[in-house]
Amino acid sequence: MGARKKHAPKRGSLAFSPRKRARSLNPVIKYWPKLDVEGVKPLGFAGYKAGMTHVFYIDNYQYSPYAGQEVFSAVTIVETPPLRVIGLTSYTVDTVNNRLVNFKTAYAEEVPAFVKRRIVTFSSATGKKNLEEIEANLDKIKVLRLLVSTQPVLAGIHKKTPEVFELQLGGSSSIEEKFNYAKERLGGEIPVDEVFKPGDVIDVIAVTKGKGFQGPVKRWGIKLLSHKARKSRRKPGALGPWKPTATRYTVPLAGQTGFHRRTIYHVKILDIKKPEDFDHPLSFRRYGMLRNQFLFLKGSVPGPAKRLIKMRFTVRPVREEFTQPVEITYINL
């Protein structure tokens, strides 16, 4: 077999290997940023992807080549029903093994019936006792997180079973102030405009569209072989050398495509709207009517319509000028 006549980059990135199915449609946020703001603020939120459209806005980023001009941008609509706070989780630090250890979890006294669709063995009998123990040991506790539940029954997606996850509390406040904030919110709701505002830059964590078991051409983007290729055209040119007698993981082969957990960094919130701000009902194909506050996220995010979208404040540095809210001149709704 002759040598290649040209140089070309490898087809497909190995940065996302192994390309296997996500464990759950409710992805875990593995890292929370340190937010330097006054007071107490939850570091994330969650919503449901409704669809995409486009807007025109005035670009006010001074380092942009289009600064001061009206620009076009595709946007993703994410409906964000209020989150229900059903518990408070506290963590201490295990310095030997460098990890967080759960101290106590205090549940709210009353929760909606739809929450028990997800937590079957939900019990609030020890909620008050655990809350007192957390308050008595605040000097040992390093991290406080809200145990929250989504409310899909308030959205237009015809879904009843909620998702339950943890939201870490951040800000430059003390652990006592964070505890008092969580204690006040226990059993209540948190709207999205209490966490995010227009102009914020966030990270989006979600599961991509599932495409099933696919061949290497679609999965990795390799080229079709010549029409004279033996047996098949939709296969890699070689599976590897004779020695070692094993096929390496770097060889593009068939397998699971899509339905992967992915994180998109530096997504800007262009605006936060309510359905009441428009003079006609808002609906999206394969989703339904918008009934709650929704976000305009610049660009695209993973997943199909109705997919759970988790958001957090960005963990990567961003210029302060980039976080300024923009003036939207036209919305295609």
pTM value > 0.85 = yes
Homologous superfamily of the 18-41+48-81+193-220+255-333 domain (CATH):
Translation factors (2.40.30.10)
H/E stretch holding 312 reads: strand 308-313
* pLDDT-wise least confident of 99-113, 178-192, 263-277: 99-113
pLDDT at 309 over 50: yes
- Tens digits of per-residue pLDDT, 61-82? 999 999 999 999 999 999 999 9
CATH code: domain 83-190 is 3.30.1430.10
Q: Which of 73, 108, 110, 104 is nearest to 91 (CA)?
A: 104
First to last CA, the chain: 58
pLDDT at 1 over 50: no
Question: What pLDDT score does 2 carry?
Answer: 54
pLDDT at 24 over 70: yes
Top-confidence residue, 308 or 237:
308
Question: What pLDDT score does 113 carry?
Answer: 86
User: What are the CA-CA distances from residue 12 to residues 6, 96, 207, 217, 244 (Å)?
Assistant: 18, 40, 19, 10, 23
What are the counts of helices (DSSP H) followed by strands (DSSP E) for the chain? 3, 17
CA distance 145 to 87: 9
- Tens digits of per-residue pLDDT, 280-305? 999 999 999 999 999 999 999 999 99
